[in-house]
Amino acid sequence: MPTKRTEQRVEEWLSEQLSDTMDFEERSLGKSIKIAFMKSLSDSDTVKRFIVVPSYEMDLPAYESYIATFPGCEKSQDKQKVLEFVLKGYIYIRIEANSYLFDAKKTEYSGISANITEAIVQGPNDALTENIETNMNLIRRRYQSKDLKIEPITIGNVSKTTVAVMYDASRVDREVLEEMRKRLSKISVDILQSAGELEKYLSERKYRMFPTTIVTERPDRVVFNLAEGKVALLMDTVDYAIIAPSIFNDFFTAMDDKIQVPLVGWFMKIIRYVGLFITVTLPAFYVAFTSYNPEILKVQITLLIAGSRAAVPYPSFVEVGLMLLMMEFLIEASLRLPKAIGPTATTVGGLILGQAATQAGLVSNIMIIIVSAVAISNFVIPLNMMAFTVRVLKYFFIFFAAIFGLIGIVVSMIGLIMYLSEIRSFGKPYMKIFAIEGKQGKGDQQNG
């Protein structure tokens, strides 16, 4: 049975723990009411309207009853819990021999904005925000089912990041859900601040090439995947969600595909796979044809390439590597420069660099065309995590093409297929291109 002395000890302990903190504040509301809170985390208007002002308008029993029954308020005598909740923005209120934790968290988040990394032509264009409760609202408005369950979990010894495990209880794959819970429970880090970090901790393999979970900022993509029995993770302060399990085909599915008529949607997906093939293999084919196997091409094309490279003083793989690296520099610069000057600087830099390098005889005209085609085809991949992987993947093909020619490309392709076939995402085959849906409640046959 808590006593007034017990509660005073909790109050004194809390004050001692946060004594050197500038934004920690303690107040007395009369002789019998004490409050303590973090000014930087708690909403001052809430404190004034719902805690301070009523304390002068009610007698003590009525005020305690008012506080105890207020939504978002709970009673606690646990010291660690009191400290943890105060550091989240709760107000510690001691009324005689009872203490309460009053939810007055101040939320400073950006509003709902348009998608940036997964833009589409038609369909909803709102994106997830940094507020986990807003994100739940965005998803629940689209998924109005009693079976949509949300389990909270806290990760990070210092950051105390709230992660919500979201799934449809009637459709979810139980094995995947249990595996997700198991992996989340094993994460032991001090700070967790981004979806990319969490995705890395969830992976079975430390070293890997391909993403095995989808990281998306689109609430509609989360909703489609929940309906397909997948598990989604939302993080507080992060405007991205993680979806698992995922298959290779998911990364080439845009939300436009679900809006377009089927034939158009399939055509667009084929275009993306063609773009993948061009990005990965075109530079390697250039190296193989110019250095090892020119006899495979028609004589006119062989002479055309040879004429274009007549002034280039070094082997083709050096030429390819040089230009692709310059392209990587331009892409990185466009990402890091301020938005006002980024596009202009990279466009001017690319044009001047390409023209000057060609006129100086450092690279061939055909090489410029190839680099441009590779850059454009790389950007047709809808999800950035796969696009980044493909950017790296083409260098492996170039390496083997530089050593073995066309045979190196064929061996690289076989090795890539074998590697992809061996990957599992939460126990599910990564190369399951055509998902087999159940008979009930699985109307949408597309993944993504």
Q: Which residues, including other chains, have CB under 8 Å from residue 123's CB and lie 6 or more apart?
A: 220, 255, 256, 258, 259
- Lowest mean pLDDT segment, chosen from 55-59, 125-129, 204-208, 232-236: 204-208
pLDDT digits (tens, 9 = 90+) for 63-93: 888 888 888 788 887 888 888 888 888 999 9
pLDDT at 439: 43
Above pLDDT 90, what percent of the chain?
Answer: 29
Q: Which residue in 406, 379, 92 sits closest to 254, CA to CA?
A: 379
pLDDT at 8: 78
- Lowest mean pLDDT segment, chosen from 112-121, 210-219, 412-421: 112-121
* SS3 of the chain: helix, strand, coil, percent, to 5: 50, 15, 35
pLDDT above 80: residue 242: yes
Sheet holding 33-38, edge to edge: 24-28, 33-38, 91-95, 98-102, 73-75
Specify the higher pLDDT residue, 356 or 52.
52
DSSP annotation of 446: -
pLDDT at 433: 67
Q: What's the mean pLDDT in 355-376?
A: 84
What's at 142, amino acid-wise? R
Q: What's the mean pLDDT in 391-420?
A: 92
- Cα 370 to Cα 366: distance, rounded to the nearest angstrom: 6
pLDDT digits (tens, 9 = 90+) for 269-303: 999 999 999 999 999 999 998 888 888 888 888 88
Q: Where are the beta strands (DSSP E) in 117-223?
A: 148-155, 161-168, 214-216
Q: What's the mean pLDDT in 157-179?
A: 92
Q: Provide the mean pLDDT of the chain.
A: 85
Specify the higher pLDDT residue, 6 or 430.
430
pLDDT digits (tens, 9 = 90+) for 421-440: 888 898 888 887 644 444 44
pLDDT at 172: 93
pLDDT band for position 164 (cuts 50, 70, 90): very high
pLDDT at 163: 93
- Lowest mean pLDDT segment, chosen from 90-99, 186-195, 327-336, 411-420: 327-336
Domain extent listing, the chain: 3-103, 132-246, 262-429
Q: What's the mean pLDDT in 189-197?
A: 90
pLDDT band for position 1 (cuts 50, 70, 90): low
Chain position carrying tokens 């198991």: 182
Specify the higher pLDDT residue, 71 or 226.
226
